[in-house]
Structure 1
Amino acid sequence: MAKAKKNKEKTLQFPLIEQARHADNAFLDEAGNTLEHASFEVPSYIDENLLHTLRNYQNQALRNYHFTQTHIQPNPQHVLFNMATGSGKTDLMAALILYLYQEHNYQNFLFTVNTNSVLMKTEDNLVNAASEKYLFNEKIEIDGNTIAIKKVERFPRLTQANTIYIKLSLVQNVFDGLFTIKEGTMGLSDYERHPVAILADEAHHYSASTKSSEKDAENTWESAINKIWNARNNEEQKNLLLEFTATVGFEKEAIYDKYRDKVVYRYPLSKFMLDGYSKQVKRIETSASDEDKMLNVVLLSQFRKYRAQIEGVTGNFKPVIMFKSAKVDISIAATKAFKTLIANLNASKLSNFIKRQQLLDSNDSSALELAYTFYLKNEDRLADIVREIKHDFDPKNVLNVNDKSGNMLEKGQYEALNTLESPNNFYRVVFAVAKLTEGWDVLNLYDIVRITESAATNKDATMVEAQLIGRGARYYPFEIEGVKSYSRRFDGDSSNKQLFLETLHYHTMNEPQYLKQLVGSLKQMDLPTGKDKQNPPIEIKVKSAFKRTDAWRNGKIYYNESVEVPDSYFDSLEKYGINHREDIQRYLNYGSREVDYRTIDLSQNTKSIHVKKFDARYIKKALQKLDFYHFANLKKYLPQLNSMKEFIHDEKWLNADKLKLFLTVPQEYRSEALTADEILKVTIDLLKEYQVKIQSGYVKERGTNKFKGYPIKDYLSNYNKRVPEYDTTTQISGQQHITVHEMPDDFFIYEKAIVNNLEYELIERVKAYVDALRDKYKKAVYLFRMDENMHRESIKSEALKLHQYGKPTQADGKTPSDVHLSGFQPDFILFLEDESDFYFQIFIEPKGMSGDRFVKELWKEELLAYMTTHQGEIEFEDDAVNVKVSGLKFYTKDDGQDTMKQLREMTGIKENQKQEEALLSVE
């Protein structure tokens, strides 16, 4: 089931995003003039009037929205921003308010949400100029006019110039105003008078009627919002609906269908975190009692404070702890237990506790161990440390945000909870149950502790915890030497700065079923986390012995150069890597029928039928249903195309009049049962595949047969690399387990190799032939690991890529293959040199053979094969008269393609008894 969901996620298409992306890439029109959208920059009045500078992805979200309102007809009036928790959706709302006011004359804005906590936070963000969370500058000025922002309960009948009106309301109250007549509420007529922009936050709560037909409360919320949105449908300036959420169930067909053409921007949590805009997240899985967990997290939190001082963090650095309980009574009892624990703490108890914890086999937390070591090294001043702990964690600095009903307490405590970063806020600890999953945007939360008692282990409970972790992972922009950073500073740093200053720790229960559910929920959110254990970056050094060789001093590695591709090149589907034949062979996907062709043995239980009903009408209808194929958009990728008629009928393009469709179906299938809808769906699926190839094939550079040499000593250098330890994100799913290997053999030029199992197997296979290679290539036999981390921050690494050139063919040399103009860097180079100074450079690429990815990347293998079989076409720079460059077939598990046999034949060596024994030892 999970696999099916994952595959579906890959196929999701969002036309507004795609169209905006392609508009960004199309800089010039046919006359060479700069296109308006490509040159569109976020207006200066937005940056000048917002407290925070918009990040790149927020700017892109605004650019996408601008595109929908200026380049798509009719302009979409209902859009969705699907952005990660913590990515600054409210900052984007503030920018959109200014944009819609200035560019489209909207003065009335309705902000609606379903929880009080989010509503109160947003009030501080958008209308409370006295709040530390206010997002606008104190004075808003546009074109010399001072703009006032007014909070209202009802929009005025007559609006004043230079004024923005914002109504903030629970969606429940919005509904009451529409359907229950009360004094002071807003009825539908209030939304008809002047145009209104609705900012609907946490929008995933507003799709109940989309999900089901039940007439529950949420159903009416969706209905109420839609009534307001449609209130001015007959007016020239209509109401707008802008929805915002981090959580959308696109795996549900009804939700995807609702939002497919409304999603204007997506920024998933995994990308947000992997881009460095959040803390890292580590799990501390422990069997300790709740009281032991409490003391552990206090020690860790206080050590963070000390570590910040050591690292030169200036200003107020106050790491906050949150204790999450299942019930209010348990939270209240835990608060009491915590206060007692701190009150009774002394130096002797602390020392004994730390020493006892270090003896526990179950405690393998890297962060806690570093903290323990610090305290024991300072055992002579533990009494002073305890006094500081008692001061910092005094009962007055502990906040319990629950009452008996589970609601948040009075406004004063709400304000305390949402100003935890303030120098005037001294709270270090928060106890809570369920009110912090939405709307809480505290930045200096560094530890979340799950209280064990009555903790649920079901999926619903762990999903709430995963959402809380996502909120707690927001980055805290602490200062070093007076400078703030709003993204992680220490990725790749060999110290532990990141572990304590840029990492959120989630202290969990060590109960197998619970952990299984928690990890599952984290994966579902695509939230990258890993267990907290030692994971410092590893320095990968070039061996000193290699640096003394002539290969290091004078050797070169060769890659082919690329040139600009003129638009005149893209004159047919073939140029986009599409093998479009008159006879189209497809499978009939039964989907919802009882028989699914994918479960059938195709070689025995299927047949191919000719679809006589198929003609150009199906092509035309399918094109109408796919936004990508609207001519204005298609022209961006097919610059030689003159009309849709040409695209449909010309033999260089779809050649629709001559196409014949053949379908593979089960043997028992009757041709007359085939419906028009099924034929159309097959046609749409075919065109969707073509769309992907057209988009990826329109690349403005291509390879040449001219190869250039790059000095080895300039491009192969020391670099740092961490062994990835995420276990809860699809961003890195599918990769083999990566480990560190010491590499004492001198043929491998680095002291260590951080590789997956298949890559290590390849190294061992090559190792088995080193002696035989050295018999022939006496000056140099080296294996280079070409790791992207070597030049991650250097544009010069872009030169070290192979680009397709010539006429690509399959490995069998018969069937034309896809055209790929983008380059790639093979993972290994076997570098050989003989006594006549002849260089032989062999590219080797290991590749797992499972799934679509292998098929999609076969073009790389074909490029390596073409380079090998067309040596006469290769031209080298003037001084490279004695060089040969070749490539092997993909190396697959257990040498499934006989790649090593090809290596022997290519280099002219023979397999002897010693090599046979070595190969057996590998197997």
Structure 2
Amino acid sequence: MAKSKKAPANARKFPLVDQAEQAEKDLFSQHQGYQIPEYINANLAHTLRDYQDEAIRNFHYTQTQINPNPQHVLFNMATGSGKTDLMAGLILYLYQEHNFRNFLFTVNTNSVLMKTKDNLVNENSEKYLFQDKIEIDGEHIFIKEVERFPRIQQDNTIYIKLSSVQKVSDDLFVLKENTMGLSDYENQPVAILADEAHHYSAFTKKKNGKETKEEKEEKTWESAITKILRARDDKEKKNLLLEFTATVDFDKEVIYNKYRDKVVYRYPLNQFMFDGYSKQVKRIETSASDQDKMLNVVLLSQFRKYRAYAEGVTGTFKPVIMFKSAKVAVSLEANKVFNELIQNLNVADLLAFIKRQQVLDNADSSALELAYNFYLKSEDDLAKIVREIKQDFDPRNVLNANDNDRGNMLEKGQYEALNTLESPNNLYRVVFAVAKLTEGWDVLNLYDIVRIEKEAATNKNATMVEAQLIGRGARYYPFEINGEKSYQRRYDYDTSNKQLFLETLHYHTMNEPQYLKQLVGSLKQMDLPTGEDKKNPPIEIKLKPAFKKTDTYKTGKIYYNKSEDVPDTWFDSIDKYGINHKTDISRNLNYGSREVSYKSNFENIETKTVSVEKFNDRYIKKAIQRLDFYKFDNLKKYLPLLTSMKEFIYGEKWLNAGNIKLFLTVPKGYKVSDISPDELLKITIDLLKEYEGNFKTGYVKQRGTNQFIGYPIREYLTNYNKRVPEYDTLHMLNEVTQKVAAYEIKEEFFVYETAIVNKLEYELIERIKAYVEELKQKYNKAVYLFRMDENMHRESAKSEKLKLHQYGSRINRAGEKVDMHLQGFQPDFILFLENSDIHFQIFIEPKGMSGERFISELWKQELLLYMNDHQVEMEFEDEVENVRISGLKFYTKDDGQGTLEQLREVTQL
């Protein structure tokens, strides 16, 4: 009998994730629309990203909407995605919402432990993740690091014990004085934050058979964590276990079975990278010796630095190199060779080296070729460049991190240096290491990793460690351009080489087919998109000669609506921000988190609406005090006509707080007296937070109008250049929608010879192709599909003209009209149709994203659909009468929204 085919990890089902996602969509769920509390972002050093926010919302769902609440959950998130930021947010959430005071952070490596101490308890560290002063509901909250949770605990205090899992296990199983035994975890509820959690499943993975020493050790760890988790099972408030890892192996059936009902959130590495939160990754595969690779990477790194400043990077830009060896002795020897190489470098040898390298396999590397050409063209300045290389790569700027991972700490000062490499005061350019950086290192300005070949293994275990290191090194470096930072890639669509040097990590490795096959396999297993760094010149995307001969090209126009300036005098009331603020405000009481007898079945609760007589302006004032946005100096940036906070609070055109009446929807059994002042304050804070979003998005200096301008097609549809991103280690997303490729399209309906598009966009083109002949029966003069690529006019003011802007009024969820004046966007495709009676232009936008990212883009779909229902409101500058403009719903995979059916409807004559 044939064995059933095992489902890949990315196809596994995780009920908690599915339930939380469904609850986000279910209008009758108490979780729908839940926003994480403001105090979380207010007290963190970094604002949580969308996916971190989503992770907390999912966890909140498990703790408020599932009965009994799961004690043990797993966050499976990509390396570099900010799991420690998430932990910091969860600590605040559990403290405030669920009254946890005691937190145990545990991990299996000293390097991660040291880093996390800086993150969570060391207020003087540059890496500290909380604000200097933590304040919740007007109370100052203190964080104290402890070795043992105190029996008598102070108010407003969070206790954090940070310990290696080895020590936690030893203390638990070997009774010692002044250590935490099992009884300590029984006294008061403890939330365990277990990092690098894939190490805690040894017992699960191997219940039988011969074990290695390490497996026996890890089995003990797993047992210790489980004992702590279960220590309060007989009490009403139980301990919690929150595990975090990027590398859990769900392909193993026993691991999947252990975590199937515990995974609360997943954010895989490939999605993290495609969302732009990481560097791109390229491999430089070479037959060069280790010594030659050293000089190559120094030349590349220094060129990277020069290029950054030439591109307008401000502040300090210091690209770091890491040399990864298999053994400490090899690393120490390589360190010595490197220092001698830099010391002996001279202009003549450098020129000879570059010319020799150009005829070897390095000549195929796009990055090295550009670096070589730079140095050859700078021959007159090479003496100065060599001096700068000697200065930047002096032995004093080389850090040796070769302690073993579970043994002794680094020498005094080295740990701090290793974890502050982004600091302008840190001059290190090179790190030599063996095992130190496999877990926990979160340096951002690492741009080159060099594999020292001597004694390096090529088996699967070795290449998996390399793949994990590459994933860790791919963290994005938020360099400054004109004083502004970005935490996502800027140059994904840029045809220059900015991305290659500012947003790409290069992994320098050997050119040996069997090893590379193994490495690529490991990268695929991690879903880590990489490609070989080889010459990848932009492809010229040309208009078809036949199309350029048509009347459509010669005289036709494409229409976009005109935008206009919005004067500050227009922003004279709260309704100009899309807020319909009435004196009678209706809200729902968020009773989902309250202890009520019918808590487990919210959907069936009968409700009523009550008037809250005790609500008054004091709640508005108190809420304003809690929200930094509402400080007058900041508020006036968005409400320019405002003269005082008193006007904002009491003015009839603003909050009109003296006349507000609050009506709440509550369970039928509730009395108005059951509603506490804290709940009323929370409702008021939530209301003002909603208004904050409206104020920020509503105050724009440009808005759309109903006037449409025609732009000559021959001026705006032009030849342009674009690169095809080259990856050979794509795994999951390769099979879905994201992979970009060049497709030759011969059919005349598509006006370009080639389309560089992702799979979803190509799927759309193919579906429209199948409909072309039917369209030609109705539109006999022209049926063309235009690809409106961002690259066409990237450096030109023309690109700003080819954008749609919201205009007119739309109906919100409450059935009320609100003004539309958000930013403009350029839909990816225009279907151009023409016969003797009509010039018809249809905007089409494919969307491959899902969840919150999809929802955040829905304003674009609203605009596209708005045009269909408001044709008579459109005005055209040249007073043409035979123009019609429409838009379609987003096109999603397999036409999931029925976009093509809508196309058939709108194209009926």
TM-score range for the pair, normalised by the shorter chain length:
0.5 to 0.7
What is the CA deviation profile of residues 160-209 of structure 1, one whole-angstrom value per residue up to 9, with x for unaligned ones? 11111110111111111111011221000001111110000011111111
Aligned match of 2:727: 726
Q: Pick from 126, 130, 144: which aligns with 1:132?
A: 126
Is the deviation greater in 213-222 or in 273-282? Answer: 213-222
Q: Pick from 74, 93, 113: which aligns with 1:119?
A: 113
Distance 2:265 2:736 in 1: 28
Please, what TM-score do these two structures have when normalized by structure 2?
0.67
Deviation at 1:416, TM superposition (A): 1.4
Distance 1:739 1:241 in 2: 44
Aligned match of 1:691: none
Deviation at 1:360, TM superposition (A): 1.9
Distance 2:23 2:126 in 1: 38
Is the contact between residue 83 and residue 267 of structure 1 (CA under 8 Å) also seen in structure 2?
yes
Is the contact between residue 68 and residue 76 of structure 1 (CA under 8 Å) also seen in structure 2?
yes
Distance 2:869 2:309 in 1: 59
Deviation at 1:502, TM superposition (A): 0.7
What is the CA deviation profile of residues 687-708 of structure 1, one whole-angstrom value per residue up to 9, with x for unaligned ones? xxxxxxxxxxxxxxxxxxxxxx
**For the structure 1 residues 213 and 7, does the alpha-carbon distance in structure 2 shift closer, same or farther, using more than 3 Å as the test?**
closer
Is the contact between residue 404 and residue 436 of structure 2 (CA under 8 Å) also seen in structure 1?
no
Is the deviation greater in 537-546 or in 493-502? Answer: 537-546
Is 1:283 matched with 2:283? yes
Is the contact between residue 142 and residue 157 of structure 2 (CA under 8 Å) also seen in structure 1?
yes
Distance 1:712 1:465 in 2: 54
Deviation at 1:759, TM superposition (A): 11
Is the deviation greater in 478-487 or in 358-367? Answer: 358-367
Is the contact between residue 73 and residue 241 of structure 2 (CA under 8 Å) also seen in structure 1?
yes
**For the structure 1 residues 343 and 460, does the alpha-carbon distance in structure 2 shift closer, same or farther, using more than 3 Å as the test?**
same
Deviation at 1:747, TM superposition (A): 6.6
Q: Pick from 54, 58, 63: which aligns with 2:52?
A: 58
Is the contact between residue 495 and residue 536 of structure 1 (CA under 8 Å) also seen in structure 2?
no
**For the structure 1 residues 72 and 842, does the alpha-carbon distance in structure 2 shift closer, same or farther, using more than 3 Å as the test?**
closer
What is the CA deviation profile of residues 558-598 of structure 1, one whole-angstrom value per residue up to 9, with x for unaligned ones? xxxxxxxxxxxxxxxxxxxxxxxxxxxxxxxxxxxxxxxxx
**For the structure 1 residues 740 and 22, does the alpha-carbon distance in structure 2 shift closer, same or farther, using more than 3 Å as the test?**
closer
Aligned match of 1:906: none
Deviation at 1:745, TM superposition (A): 9.6
Partner letter of residue 39 of structure 1? G
Is the contact between residue 286 and residue 363 of structure 1 (CA under 8 Å) also seen in structure 2?
no
**For the structure 1 residues 142 and 375, does the alpha-carbon distance in structure 2 shift closer, same or farther, using more than 3 Å as the test?**
same
Is the deviation greater in 105-114 or in 357-366? Answer: 357-366
Distance 2:549 2:267 in 1: 44
Is 1:110 matched with 2:104? yes
Aligned match of 2:175: 181
Distance 1:528 1:479 in 2: 26
Is the contact between residue 149 and residue 165 of structure 1 (CA under 8 Å) also seen in structure 2?
yes
Aligned match of 2:297: 297
Distance 1:470 1:294 in 2: 22
Q: How does 1:407-556 map to 2 (within 5 A)?
A: 407=407, 409-535=410-536, 540=541, 546=548, 549-550=551-552
Deviation at 1:754, TM superposition (A): 3.0
Is 1:72 matched with 2:91? no
Distance 1:489 1:8 in 2: 33
**For the structure 1 residues 173 and 334, does the alpha-carbon distance in structure 2 shift closer, same or farther, using more than 3 Å as the test?**
same
Partner letter of residue 751 of structure 2? I
What is the CA deviation profile of residues 366-386 of structure 1, one whole-angstrom value per residue up to 9, with x for unaligned ones? 111111111111110100000
Is the contact between residue 837 and residue 882 of structure 1 (CA under 8 Å) also seen in structure 2?
no
Deviation at 1:38, TM superposition (A): 2.6
Is 1:44 matched with 2:46? no
Distance 1:234 1:882 in 2: 70
Distance 1:10 1:278 in 2: 21
Distance 2:412 2:425 in 1: 17
Is the contact between residue 71 and residue 239 of structure 2 (CA under 8 Å) also seen in structure 1?
yes
Q: Pick from 171, 184, 196: which aligns with 2:190?
A: 196
Distance 2:491 2:457 in 1: 36
Is the contact between residue 328 and residue 406 of structure 1 (CA under 8 Å) also seen in structure 2?
no
**For the structure 1 residues 297 and 156, does the alpha-carbon distance in structure 2 shift closer, same or farther, using more than 3 Å as the test?**
same
Aligned match of 2:755: 753
User: Alignment length, in residue pairs?
Assistant: 682
What is the CA deviation profile of residues 14-47 of structure 1, one whole-angstrom value per residue up to 9, with x for unaligned ones? 11111211222234x3xxxxx6423322222111
**For the structure 1 residues 180 and 105, does the alpha-carbon distance in structure 2 shift closer, same or farther, using more than 3 Å as the test?**
same
Q: Pick from 73, 85, 88: which aligns with 2:79?
A: 85
**For the structure 1 residues 92 and 738, does the alpha-carbon distance in structure 2 shift closer, same or farther, using more than 3 Å as the test?**
closer
**For the structure 1 residues 79 and 739, does the alpha-carbon distance in structure 2 shift closer, same or farther, using more than 3 Å as the test?**
closer
Is the deviation greater in 729-738 or in 369-378? Answer: 729-738
Is 1:165 matched with 2:159? yes
Is the contact between residue 404 and residue 435 of structure 2 (CA under 8 Å) also seen in structure 1?
no
**For the structure 1 residues 113 and 795, does the alpha-carbon distance in structure 2 shift closer, same or farther, using more than 3 Å as the test?**
farther
Distance 2:289 2:805 in 1: 51
Aligned match of 1:101: 95
Aligned match of 2:306: 306
Deviation at 1:789, TM superposition (A): 9.0
Distance 1:4 1:276 in 2: 37
Is 1:12 matched with 2:6? no
Deviation at 1:427, TM superposition (A): 0.9
Distance 2:277 2:764 in 1: 36
Deviation at 1:555, TM superposition (A): 7.7
Deviation at 1:829, TM superposition (A): 9.8
Q: How does 1:228-627 map to 2 (within 5 A)?
A: 228-403=228-403, 407=407, 409-535=410-536, 540=541, 546=548, 549-550=551-552
What is the CA deviation profile of residues 296-347 of structure 1, one whole-angstrom value per residue up to 9, with x for unaligned ones? 0000000111111112212221110000111111111111110110011001
Deviation at 1:731, TM superposition (A): 3.7
**For the structure 1 residues 416 and 634, does the alpha-carbon distance in structure 2 shift closer, same or farther, using more than 3 Å as the test?**
farther
Partner letter of residue 101 of structure 1? Y
Deviation at 1:732, TM superposition (A): 3.9
Is the deviation greater in 720-729 or in 476-485? Answer: 720-729
Deviation at 1:406, TM superposition (A): 8.7
**For the structure 1 residues 543 and 796, does the alpha-carbon distance in structure 2 shift closer, same or farther, using more than 3 Å as the test?**
farther
Q: How does 1:677-688 map to 2 (within 5 A)?
A: none
**For the structure 1 residues 428 and 72, does the alpha-carbon distance in structure 2 shift closer, same or farther, using more than 3 Å as the test?**
same
Deviation at 1:131, TM superposition (A): 1.2
SS of the residue aligned with 2:734?
coil
Aligned match of 1:567: none
Distance 1:330 1:511 in 2: 20
Distance 1:829 1:109 in 2: 55
SS of the residue aligned with 1:303?
helix
Please, what TM-score do these two structures have when normalized by structure 1?
0.66
Deviation at 1:497, TM superposition (A): 1.2
**For the structure 1 residues 23 and 738, does the alpha-carbon distance in structure 2 shift closer, same or farther, using more than 3 Å as the test?**
closer
Question: What percent of counterpart residues are identical?
Answer: 70
Aligned match of 2:21: 21
Deviation at 1:722, TM superposition (A): 3.5
Is the deviation greater in 71-80 or in 387-396? Answer: 71-80
Deviation at 1:733, TM superposition (A): 2.5
Aligned match of 1:612: none
Distance 1:163 1:331 in 2: 45
Is the contact between residue 326 and residue 456 of structure 1 (CA under 8 Å) also seen in structure 2?
yes
Q: Unaligned stretches of 5+ in structure 2? A: 560-599, 606-707, 794-798, 807-826, 845-867, 873-880, 886-909
**For the structure 1 residues 170 and 314, does the alpha-carbon distance in structure 2 shift closer, same or farther, using more than 3 Å as the test?**
same
Is the contact between residue 110 and residue 405 of structure 2 (CA under 8 Å) also seen in structure 1?
no
What is the CA deviation profile of residues 677-724 of structure 1, one whole-angstrom value per residue up to 9, with x for unaligned ones? xxxxxxxxxxxxxxxxxxxxxxxxxxxxxxxxx999799956775313
Deviation at 1:738, TM superposition (A): 6.8
What is the CA deviation profile of residues 125-167 of structure 1, one whole-angstrom value per residue up to 9, with x for unaligned ones? 1111111111111111112221111111111011111111110
